[in-house]
Amino acid sequence: MKSLNSFDKFIYLLIMANVLAMILDSHQSIHEAYGNLFYQFEFVSIIIFSFEYLFRVFLAYKQGKFQGAFNYIFSFFGLIDLLSILPFYLNQFVKVDGRFLRILRLFRLTRIFKLGRESKALKLFIKALSAVKGELQFTLFLSILTILFSASAIYYLENEAQPEKFSSITEAIWWATVSLATVGYGDVYPVTVGGKIFASIISLIGIGVVAIPTGIISASFVEEIIAQNRKKDTPKK
């Protein structure tokens, strides 16, 4: 990381304090005793993060007018900055149910990604992902097709034997996903001969499904590292 100014150091400390507060607040006994204090800390943090976000938008506008501001707002770190404050405002001005509110609170964890703003390694990784975006999109499309095919096949193979576990294709998607990811929690599994044979084939295919994007990203990351090292070694004229 390059050297940070005092404001950046303060923001980094505030992010870490927010993550720690979120962890502590998840304990029922601590929440009951200090819940109001945690809320006040969250409120102050949101004001500071909001000021930081608006300030970065202003700097981007100052450097590149509307195009500069647009590029920052829809950049990776611009979206991270927005997601880190948006749930708080939605909770204040929009009436949401408890389950959706808990999901919104999860977005507070995006603040931890702000720590990587000045990280050269993270920027290099993002650059590597961008370089193989097309290949990853195709891999994702192929994975979705494989999951849908697997879920459909196992539904027709297992529905009669286990109607409560494979009641529909959508219910079978869970089994297909964990099987292709080679996780296999064991909560749902085939009992028919056809289902077992198909599950064995899918497990082998799953190894490739997981390995392909991993290999693509790894190769791209290594290429970016090599390219960066070449730039460093190239003498300036």
Same domain membership, residue 82 and residue 56: yes
Domains contained in the chain, number: 2
Same domain membership, residue 178 and residue 111: no
Q: What percent of the chain has pLDDT over 70?
A: 84
Residue finishing a domain among 74, 92, 118:
118
Residue 126 located in a structural domain? no
Could you please report the per-residue DSSP string of 192-226?
SHHHHHHHHHHHHHHHHHHHHHHHHHHHHHHHHHH
Residue 127 located in a structural domain? no
Q: What domain range includes position 187? A: 133-233
> 126 falls in which pLDDT band (50, 70, 90)?
confident
Same domain membership, residue 40 and residue 71: yes
Same domain membership, residue 165 and residue 112: no
Same domain membership, residue 137 and residue 57: no
Distances in Å between the Cα of 236 and the Cα atoms of 70, 81, 223, 226, 232 are 34, 36, 22, 18, 9
Q: Is the pLDDT of residue 100 over 60?
A: no
Residue finishing a domain among 68, 87, 118:
118
Could you tell me the CATH number of the domain that includes residue 23?
1.20.120.350
199-231 as b/e: b if 16+ CB within 10 A: beebeeebeebeebbeebbeebbeebeeeeeee
Same domain membership, residue 83 and residue 32: yes
Residue 78 located in a structural domain? yes
Q: Is the pLDDT of residue 231 over 80?
A: no
Global confidence as pTM: 0.59
Same domain membership, residue 145 and residue 50: no
Same domain membership, residue 92 and residue 145: no
Query: Which of the residue ranges 75-89, 99-113, 199-213 would you say has the lowest mean pLDDT?
Result: 99-113
Residue 125 located in a structural domain? no
> 1 falls in which pLDDT band (50, 70, 90)?
very low
Return the pLDDT at 3: 46
> 235 falls in which pLDDT band (50, 70, 90)?
low
